[in-house]
Structure 1
Amino acid sequence: MAKAIRLAQTGGPEVLRCEDIEVGRPGPGQVRLRHVAVGLNYADTYFRDGTYPVPMPSGLGVEAAGVVQEVGEGVAHLAVGDRVTYTGFIDTLGAYSTERLISAAPLIRLPETIAFETAAAMTMRGLTSAYLMRRIYPFKQGDTLLLHAAAGGVGLIVAQWARLLGITVIGTVSTEEKAEMARSHGCAYTINYSHEDVARRVREITDGVGVNVVFDSVGQSTFMASLDSLKRRGLMVCVGTASGPVAPFGPQLLAVKGSLHLTRPALADYIADPVEKAQLADEVFGHVAAGRIRIEINQHYALQDAVQAHRDLESRKTTGSSIFVV
């Protein structure tokens, strides 16, 4: 019997249950996939607590890597034994499992140079970092970037990628340990938001000018400081809402603060085109395989420890990437 983490209702981590499941045979367009490693992402908590509503009961998790066990009718681009990885949204929900049926469409062939554990830790974070660095803004050498949650999974990848492009990164963190990690991965400066005024420090670091771009994955508690850190006509990128959704505001606020630009992107819209998805995947896998970007897997959990994993994630005890080892 395969095992999967399921939930019958939304709520805190305690609603997660490890259950035995029957996987069955793949239907048309599907494969049966045995997982080796499963990604743990902050977005998983949004499905669990109802921020992202899904019908109940439900599986959880949208990212994993493993080996194709059986191929359904009409699947021509994959074969039994292929190493694959995937990430997505509703279309891939159910990754917290030892084995599953899944549509072949979102599956990405995994290069032999990338380990399953690395893939599970980086497919979502890597593709997110790829579109942020290559699609959101025309970065050039000498630009400045304010990066919230700089010691997180996406943060560490973005910081390294930005350093490759000659971008000056100012990272926000909550502890000195996280500050050291952020600096070692490419942040030229760090700001400890637990006792420093973020916008004031950004102005000091940039000689009063502000940064070209802010990547803000925190949301409610950092939104105004992020706007106040931007230079005139700068770009605010709302990547996530770890502290809660941003409160409604009038667009005049953007004019008052310097004719600012704002976007709220979603990964799904940057990997919807298979060609663009392949381009982004090839680029991030290439950086990792060549050693230009390191993937830090700092937390490993067993699948049955999903409750503790979610508690650690929401209490901000984690750094880098977290995975379930299946």
Structure 2
Amino acid sequence: MSSEHRSGFACFVGRPNAGKSTLTNAIVGSKVAIASSKPQTTRHAVKGIVTRPDAQLVLIDTPGLHKPRTLLGARLNDVVRATWSEVDVVGVCLPANQRIGPGDTYLVQQVAELRRRPKLVALATKSDLVSPVRMREHLLAIGALEESMGLRWEHIIPVSAVADDQVDVVADEIIGLLPPGPAYYPDGEITDEPDETLVAELIREAALEGVRDELPHSIMVVVDEMGLREGRPEDKPLLDVFASMVVERDSQKGIMIGHKGSRLRDVGTAARMQIQALLGTPVHLDLKVKVMKDWQRDAKSLNRLGF
């Protein structure tokens, strides 16, 4: 081998909707991190794994850092900071179609204040939405953060995950910053998340589509039971998934079920297609809606739900 094998961990940070999950998916080439147009959809540090002959990059998809209003918010922020201090590279997503604002500088400052600071890469995301002139302004503004925040960008890269523009450049440059090391995961694995976690996230993603804005934070999905149905021929497997969507109030339960159960059916159908695509097995999905009063503010509920 001409060059040594590199391996390590990276994550993307940015304001809600800065394009973090979409970029993670584009680099991994598969749907491992849920992408939704609603802020705070990512709740787990889902890892996407990119294995190449010369390197292995493990991408960690963290929740967005935000000023917490609930106990859940505070715990999510702790997850984020713990992740940042463990990774080798942090890619800061600064969407080109928006000016750099206080939310961005707050984030960059939080990363800059870590005791063990990872290498930093600035990503001008959503490059397909702006003109070359606007992009030049944006790149200059990103460059100016070095002096004002006392940090150093290893690279500043315009990228569009949606238009598949420069996605491979981002992957190459991040891999170039990783230390020499062995592969941590076997080839062919794209995530180490248990199937149950991925299934729960896909159901939650389907549930968030088209729901009014007050619901996203209040929906949690728990996979109660999941397994292949017994007594079926080997060439005709069926995966049974029993899952509950947990909300905080009875009124939200009504919204999730919909008129004569129509909304629940739509969510179930959309989620089932996604789960089948992910696991490659026909799926029977049994979906219920449960109310757990104010679970985001209750330590016992959060512990039960795995936070």
TM-score by length of structure 1 reads: 0.30
Greater share of strand: 1
Greater share of helix: 2
